[in-house]
Amino acid sequence: DKKTYDNFKGLNSAVPDLSTLKFIKGEAPEEPTTGPIVILTWAKYAKGDYRTMVHFSFLMRALPGLRVVGVSCDPAEEDATAMLKKMDTPMPTQSIDLLVFDMSLAFDEGKKVKDAIIGAVGGSLAPGRALLYIDGELKWQEQFTAGWALKDGQFGEQCALALAGEPLIANGEPPAEEEGDEDEEE
């Protein structure tokens, strides 16, 4: 189930301190605790996520004013900066006409932003995770993969609602897990 439910772990947690990021393309957003801002994790090694970055670039074009910060999960800064060499090139094997990154891109020196996010939401932080913060608080998250694209989820619509100052879609509580039939021991 890919839905974001109303009680997801990390809901209302604070946007991480972005001052520790080393920007390799673009600049740090002004006032990250005001209005909507998206943190999108990415990595050069995660080739399936290149489309996600292109899709977010198109979302930014469709929603002027949407601020997206791409935070690299690459282990070394050289890996992150190598991604810039691929910018503005076609990638037909990935079904990408032109690899574009409209968002600012940053390397997470010391993994401080990653650690802050994991501390809030738990688990691990894989490339393709998008987190929507509104006025400094986490309100939505989705994990995108080669099999789950931006168009498949509710993230784009949530960003449009956030920019318009409208309430986000609420999916309620997650459905109760059904207990399987267990064999009784005799």
For residue 180, what pLDDT is reported? 56
Closest CA to 60 of 167, 160, 161: 160
H helices then E strands: how many in the chain? Answer: 4, 6
**Tens-place pLDDT, residues 84-95:** 998 999 999 888
Alpha-carbon span 158 to 58, nearest angstrom: 15
Tell me, what's the pLDDT at 90? 93
Q: pLDDT at position 111, please?
A: 95
pLDDT at position 1: 66
Residue ranges for the chain with pLDDT beneath 70: 1, 178-186
* pLDDT for res 177: 76
pLDDT at 146: 84
CB 82 within 8 A of CB 44: yes
How do the residues of the chain divide into helix, strand and coil, expressed in percent and rounded to 5? 30, 20, 50
Give the list of residues 6+ apart from residue 21 with CB closer than 8 angstroms, or none.
28, 69, 71, 106, 107, 108, 109, 113
| pLDDT number for residue 108 | 96
